[in-house]
Chains A and B, each alone.
Chain A
């Protein structure tokens, strides 16, 4: 399989990569940047939502309520205001994302048999923040109400703690703290693998045409498959290094677990690479310049990212988009890499995805190989 011609092509390709600073930056810096950006910014963990409080009661009961809000770190009581207008201005300007209004007779109402109403206003412009804040706000108030209720009952001589007739005991598996980095980092690995291999393979092949070096290659006895494989192998190697790089960073910076076997992770990543390489090769048979090649790859990249479940859950998409997602290799690899890292499952749990990836990889590769010509016309 490995012959001298192939080795020469690989060596030549590595020298070119090594002496082209742009490729090196692309290969080693971009994954880190992407991981940091995605890991820190695209997080959906809601913490410390700035809250403006208009406490008209100012009694100890109101303070207890506020303490309950303070204790859960969903909210940060950032502003203590003296009028509703002031509160509105803070929410309008975005300085506060939520506002809590405690009525003047709060202490009185909850002391007796009555019921007090507190108002919680919420900036709904970011639905993710809003929905999380909303449930958190309700949850905290509910807890506090339960506490008040049992206090009331004990004052009436009833037992201090009340049994609720129904209680839900939730249990979150695999990612009990629901840290979104666990969800994002595998996604970043997947997109990096796909982007790098497809773009680099496409440009590496097209570069030969753009610079005219293909003309000298053509008259050599190099076979098409040797040229293809020789072009791809260096980038496979780089992609594997990138996988390890992102895995290491992910576990170091975001404590993402690596519960599956590393060998299996690399093996299945390699299987996924087939699709990226195939797309890259296919793009190189269409494009005439490196720019065209990049653009062609980008056109496949965008739907991949949006329809693979990387950023938005597939279950929430319209049926048509869900159907389209079946022909997106990234979709299957995302399932695989998330399961391997977070759940630590074995290959048998992922049979369908592995089969789909293999079919895609082989299909795209075959198509690309059929179109790949070692000729000018």
Chain B
């Protein structure tokens, strides 16, 4: 499998602020790499360095084998980029936007027309072809952004938080589109705040302070906390939480909606469960669930954050 995106030791500073600090990653054809991390972690800057929107202070980027710095035109020709912020022309219609980006990206002659129709069908915007872009809903704008990024059939797709602020149905549609691109051999790099999205990706990198704290397939990343997460559902919430926190072998408690994840010291989950069952029942708490669960990416990232902080 050919490596299509490769970053080596990228670094970018804004004054004293180190936004990206020694980032290396690689994505092969048909793979999707998810960059996750809190706001300000450096995800957007990393993607901008990868597409050449910003110049790295140090490091190298290779896109489909072309050095972004030396063979800029060839390297850029391989990229489709969907920035975090809507970046198409509001005054232009959907199809005028596509025509513009098709033409400036060198689609020959009249090819922009069939290609625009094809790509609009692909993203499901064919009914809106003649609507002005600034009159589209948030979800439709993102689809148009994706269409514009794909209009020249790039091998590499860089998506910066494409599903933020988009309704659930559009999010699902978006992922179906991305998966069908992967099947065609496109390499995708996506940044997302959603763990469920990250866990669908072939590779996940958790970014913090400009660095990747951990990187790998989601299945491998979560193995780090194998057997150390206990899920607890019950009420009243405050009482349950304080009892759980007071257990000597519980390292951390996190709330996920009405579920509580307890991170316990390795090998202690049985004992913690037995102890909590007793103490919770003594306080008259209704326990709906109390059992070991497979760790999620979020559990791992929270643990990593605690270590670096």
Contacts and interface: CB of A to CB of B under 8 A. Distances in A.
A215 interface: yes
A8 B100 contact: yes
Interface stretch (A9-17, A47-55, A66-74, A312-320): A9-17
B54 A215 contact: no
Contact of A222 (B54, B89, B104, B132): B104
Contact of B85 (A20, A212, A220, A375): A212
Interface in A192-239: 211-222
A211 B103 CA distance: 21
A16 B92 contact: yes
Given A375-B54, A377-B55, A9 B104 contact: yes
A221 B73 contact: yes
Interface in B96-130: 96, 99-101, 103-106
* Residue among B77, B83, B106 with max Cβ neighbours from chain A (10 Å): B83
A25 interface: no
B240 interface: no
Given A15-B96, A212-B83, A375-B55, A220 B101 contact: yes
B51 A12 contact: no
Interface string B45-75: 0001001111100000000000000000100
B51 A219 contact: yes
* Residue among B96, B101, B148, B149 with max Cβ neighbours from chain A (10 Å): B101
B100 A215 contact: no
A219 B99 CA distance: 16
Interface residues of A, number: 26
A41 interface: no
Contacts of A377: 54-55
Given A216-B81, A220-B104, A16 B51 contact: no
A218 B101 CA distance: 11
A213 B89 contact: yes
Nearest to B78: A219
Contacts of B79: 219
A219 B88 contact: no
Interface in A1-34: 4-5, 7-9, 11-12, 15-16, 19-20
Given A220-B76, A220-B101, A12 B89 contact: yes
B83 A221 contact: no
Contacts of A19: 91, 132
A376 interface: yes
A59 B137 CA distance: 87
A4 B105 CA distance: 10
Contacts of A9: 104
Nearest to B86: A212
B219 interface: no
B53 A215 contact: yes
Contacts of A211: 87, 90
B91 A215 contact: no
Nearest to B112: A8
Nearest to B103: A8
Contacts of B103: 4-5, 7-8
Interface string A80-114: 00000000000000000000000000000000000
Nearest to B93: A15
Contact of B92 (A4, A12, A215, A217): A12
Nearest to B89: A213
B92 A212 contact: no
Contact of B87 (A213, A221, A222, A375): A213
11 contacts: A8-B104, A12-B100, A20-B91, A211-B87, A215-B85, A216-B83, A219-B51, A219-B53, A219-B79, A375-B54, A377-B55
Given A375-B52, A375-B55, 14 more contacts: A5-B103, A5-B106, A8-B99, A9-B104, A12-B92, A12-B100, A15-B96, A19-B132, A213-B87, A215-B53, A216-B81, A216-B83, A219-B76, A221-B73
Q: Which 5 A-B pairs have the closest CB atoms?
A: A8-B103, A216-B87, A215-B83, A212-B85, A19-B91
